[in-house]
């Protein structure tokens, strides 16, 4: 059985992440199986799908901006991903996000 969460991103929800005062309300549905979250590998796969969704949401919001706003898109993606993970609220997903953040930080430090 698949669980679904409905995410409503609008002026209030995206204002902090997007720093955009013209954001219009959008509803996005994300579905996952509870069994996917029962393992670390499954949680990592769900997190990857969440990250892709977040990047799509933020990319659509910033499509009117030039490529120099890449940092805003990255920040938005991190914040929207965090918001979705908090809404799902599962320990394996939280762990996957923390591990992903550490890897990302290590990659930035290496560059």
Q: What is the DSSP letter of 87?
A: H
Per-residue confidence (pLDDT) for residue 37, from 0 to 100: 92
Question: Which CA distances in Å does 98 have to 82, 90, 101, 102?
Answer: 10, 13, 5, 6
Q: Residue 100 — pLDDT band, cuts 50, 70, 90?
A: confident
d(CA 66, CA 60): 12
Domains in the chain, number = 1
Enclosing H/E stretch for 79: helix 70-88
Per-residue confidence (pLDDT) for residue 103, from 0 to 100: 64
Residue 76 CA from chain centroid, whole number? 8
Per-residue confidence (pLDDT) for residue 96, from 0 to 100: 92
Per-residue confidence (pLDDT) for residue 43, from 0 to 100: 93
Residue where the block lists tokens 């549905």: 29
Q: What is the domain extent for residue 40?
A: 2-110
pTM, to two decimals: 0.71
Question: What is the average pLDDT value for the chain, to the nearest integer?
Answer: 75
């Amino acid at each position: 059985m698949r669980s679904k969460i409905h995410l409503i991103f609008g002026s209030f929800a995206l204002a902090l992440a997007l720093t955009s005062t013209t954001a219009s309300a959008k509803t996005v549905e994300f579905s996952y199986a509870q069994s996917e979250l029962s393992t670390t590998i499954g949680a990592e796969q769900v997190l990857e799908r969440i990250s892709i969704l977040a990047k799509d949401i933020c990319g659509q919001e910033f499509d009117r901006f030039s490529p120099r706003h890449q940092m805003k898109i990255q920040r938005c993606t991190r914040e929207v991903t965090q918001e979705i993970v908090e809404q799902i609220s599962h320990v394996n997903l939280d762990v996957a996000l923390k591990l992903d953040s550490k890897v990302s930080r290590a990659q930035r430090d290496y560059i």
